Amino acid sequence: MVVPFPVGRRLRPTKRLDLVWLIFLVGIVALAGRLFVLQVLERDELRARAEAQQARRLTAVTPRRPIVDRRGEVLAVDQPVADLYVHPVQFQEPAARVAEKLSPLLGRPAPALVAQWGDQPTGIRAAEDVPESVARQIRALNLNGLELSPHYIRLYPQGRVGAEIVGFVNRDRQGQAGVEQTQAPQLKVPRPAVLIRQDAQAAPLSYDLPVGLLEQDETRLQLTLDLRLQREAQEALSQALGKFQAKRGAVLVMDAQDGSLLALVSEPAFDPNQFFKYPKEEHARFKNWAVLDLYEPGSTFKPINVAIALETGRVQANTVFYDEGRITVGGWPIQNFDFSTAGGNGSIDVTRILERSSNVGMVHIMDRLPRKLYYEWLQRLGFGQNLETDLSPVSPTSLKSPGEFINYPIEAATASFGQGLSLTPLKLVQLYAALANGGRLVYPHVVRGLVDFDGNLVKPPARPAPVAVFSPQTSRTVVDMLEKVVTQGTGKPARIPGYRVGGKTGTAQKAGATGGYIQGKITSFVAVFPIEKPRYVVLAVADEPQAGNAFGSTVTAPVVKTVLEALIALEQIPPAQP
């Protein structure tokens, strides 16, 4: 018996057509729903995504603003250059022929260029920082396969002179030291971005050029630095450091009336045009130690202590003290630097104590003050606090804790002649400026502000107001004492015929990193000038002079004298007497 093969029932034609229409209808409804979602619900989001894909913001590489000194001499400026890339795959003539045409422009033999290119087909950097004049000549060759990528490099026309103030920028044009770092926002030229709309193949569709894009920026960052004085100070300091085989040194010149720095030299220096050539162990050159490093000022701090004693009323200018030459405080011996040869000074007044730079005399003076009051005065002068300035970050002055200073008599005793407390050379100059200007702590600064092409101040920086610490009478009394130090005391090497100079020598022990004192000393001399109308403070410091007879009077006082003579000539300061 044959069983027939079962066959499923076939749909009738009308039902099959209905099924097809149902599928089409569902598809249409789904498509309409999707379109509704895309065009209505997600419209704003998709539009933003499309614009983001099509738009590209381009910010032009703009030069940094130039840096100039107080007279407009250029210290730092951008120069347009270009990197040259070659793409041999695009050459329409032999590589040797292309190299022959580039050789005289790049200053390299043609075979060396061909060897550099090798077998690479494209993207070979043939030269870096090609000057704009040479780049124009390369473009004029009209050779396929050559690409010039323009950019800027920072040039420092003065080289080492002023480098410790100006600093430098790295290859990424980021400031690494000096005002190049601290004043980066002022040096940046603001430029609005250009909005470009492009298609899927990155072909531009339109450009949106913002207002101000093509405006020229002719402003410059002007410093208070006088390049001529900076150069004289650097030369004088270098000679002194070489003569006495000192480790390092610094010279600072401040206008005491407003705190502006006319010179700030830190040796050994560096050439910011070639900062990358200094090995790692010499990177300390990039640090301006006159602003950053602390040292014990020694006898140069004595006039500040005298001002404190006079201001409190515990001592008068003519108060007499008995100088034994050597005393013991808290079990510790203290003596004058010349005790072994001259003994004690006997009965002397405050002026004579400064003239002779008597340690014992200073201990007696400051012993008139309660130690708590003395400590409060040091705090009032800024010890233990950061010094506000527009230079690189400044180290705070160092001061013992209140309990240590007040409870141990030796701490106040050593502080009386500038040991046991630490400050930066910049801070010491600020304190002397307070003596010179009538008692005000001014803001040390090196930036005058942004100026236009004619030197007119466009954007003056905000500066803190001066803080009164001494009375004009106290300041004047101490300044007159400083003149006696130069005319009759240890500061005689700084005398200038016809001019009235005040100053103080300092030869201090050098504190060790882990406490106590180490071999070596720091010599210094600080001057106030001119005495009849104090205006300038000049400080010279030499760290660890090795040659014999190294004192503040022999190493640094002659440096200050040279700087003062240059200042007299540059500022045309008339003599006080024939």
Q: Which pLDDT band holds residue 207 (cuts at 50, 70, 90)? A: low
Q: What is the mean pLDDT of residues 182-193?
A: 80
pLDDT score for 35: 75
pLDDT of residue 150: 87
174: confidence class by pLDDT, cuts 50, 70, 90: confident
Q: Region 196-221: what's the mean pLDDT?
A: 60
Q: Per-residue pLDDT for 204 more than 60?
A: no
Which is higher by pLDDT, 511 or 572? 572
pTM over 0.85: no
Beta carbons of 359 and 417 less than 8 angstroms apart: yes
Q: Are 253 and 536 in contact (CB under 8 A)?
A: yes
CA distance linking residue 34 with residue 530, whole number of Å:
88
Whether 47 shows a pLDDT value over 90: the answer reads no
**CB 482, CB 504: distance < 8 Å:** yes
Task: Convert the pLDDT of each residue in 538-560 to its tens digit.
Answer: 999 999 998 778 889 999 999 99
- Residue 5: pLDDT band (50, 70, 90) is very low
pLDDT score of 44 more than 80: no
**Given the residues 260, 266, 299, 392, the one annotated as active site:** 299
Q: How are beta strands 536-543 and 467-468 bridged, if at all?
A: unpaired
Q: Tell the CATH topology of 227-571.
A: Beta-lactamase (3.40.710)
Rounded mean pLDDT, 178-202: 74
Residue 512 has pLDDT above 70, yes or no: no
pLDDT at 518 over 60: yes
List the single range of 45-54, 503-512, 553-562 with lowest mean pLDDT. 45-54
For residue 221, what pLDDT is reported? 95
Has residue 417 got a pLDDT over 50? yes
pLDDT-derived band at 213 (thresholds 50, 70, 90) equals very low
Top mean pLDDT of 89-103, 283-297, 300-314, 377-391 is at 300-314
Query: Is the predicted pLDDT of residue 371 greater than 80, yes or no?
Result: yes
pLDDT at 517: 65
For tokens 């002055």, name the residue.
Answer: 397
Q: How far apart are CA 412 and CA 453, in angstroms?
A: 53
Q: Which of 200-209, 263-272, 340-349, 460-469 has the lowest mean pLDDT?
A: 200-209
Q: How confident is the model at residue 212, as a pLDDT?
A: 47
Whether 81 has a pLDDT exceeding 70, the answer reads yes
Q: Are 481 and 352 spatial neighbours (Cβ–Cβ below 8 Å)?
A: no
Q: What's the confidence (pLDDT) of residue 375? A: 96
Encoded tokens for 57 = 């913001």
Higher pLDDT, 274 or 47: 274
Contacts of 201 (CB under 8 A, 6+ apart): none
Average confidence (pLDDT) over 141-156? 89
Instruction: In whole angstroms, give the CA distance from residue 407 to residue 412.
Output: 9
Average pLDDT over residues 218-229: 95
Looking at residue 554, the DSSP 8-state letter turns out to be I
37-46, 314-323, 358-367, 484-493: least confidently modelled range: 37-46
Q: How confident is the model at residue 58 (pLDDT cuts 50, 70, 90)?
A: low
Least confident of 17-31, 45-59, 138-152, 509-523: 45-59
| 142: pLDDT strictly greater than 70 | yes
pLDDT, position 460: 85
Higher pLDDT, 22 or 473: 473
Is 299 among the catalytic positions? yes
* Averaged pLDDT score across all residues of the chain: 87
Mean pLDDT across the stretch 202-207? 52
Among 287, 247, 239, 297, CA closest to 425 = 297
Q: Where are the domains of the chain?
A: 227-571
Q: Which two tokens stand for residue 116?
A: 């550099």
Q: What is the pLDDT of residue 446?
A: 96
- C-alpha distances out from residue 435 to 205, 449, 530, Å: 68, 27, 13
CB burial of residue 13 (10 Å; 0-12, 13-18, 19+): exposed
DSSP state of 428: H
- Give the three-class secondary structure for 219: coil
At residue 54, the pLDDT reads 60
Q: 508 has which bridge partners?
A: 522
